[in-house]
Amino acid sequence: MALRVLLWVARILSIICILLILLFFIGEGFNPQNVAPQEWVGLLFFPLGVVAGMVIAWWREGLGGLITTLSLLAFYLIYGLLLSGKLAAGWAFVSFSAPGFLFLAYWLLKNMPSGEDEG
């Protein structure tokens, strides 16, 4: 029962996070012509990779959670540290990626050996 709750919390939060990310893009009037090549690398990981991971996680929790988590990590390391020379500031990116961690936790707990001896 607790696993089912964890799964649905992850799903509901993923919908909320995806909608909020979309609202940011709509509210800011996203114009691809104004995006520098270096910024496309950041957008590839956050929000595109993060959102793709959350969508995939609805059907394959482990894979989707891993994509979300790795996209966030790549955003911080590749875009933040390597391309701009500093880590992205703040925890907002982690907050928006939280459902991915929950999907991953669900998958890990669901696939954890029960400790019962077979046979």
Gyration radius (Cα) of the chain, Å: 16
Domain assignment present for residue 92? The answer is yes
Domain assignment present for residue 116? The answer is no
pLDDT of 41 strictly over 60 = yes
The residue range of the domain holding 97 is 2-28+38-110
The total of structural domains in the chain comes to 1
Domain assignment present for residue 50? The answer is yes
- The two tokens of residue 61 are 């929790």
Q: What is the pLDDT of residue 94?
A: 93
Domain assignment present for residue 86? The answer is yes
Decide if 70 contacts 81 (C-beta within 8 A): no
Provide CB contacts within 8 A for 89, sequence distance 6+: none
pTM, 2 dp: 0.88
Domain assignment present for residue 47? The answer is yes
**Closest to 52 measured CA to CA, from 2, 14, 6, 10:** 14
Average pLDDT of 8-30? 93
What DSSP element (H or E) covers 85? none
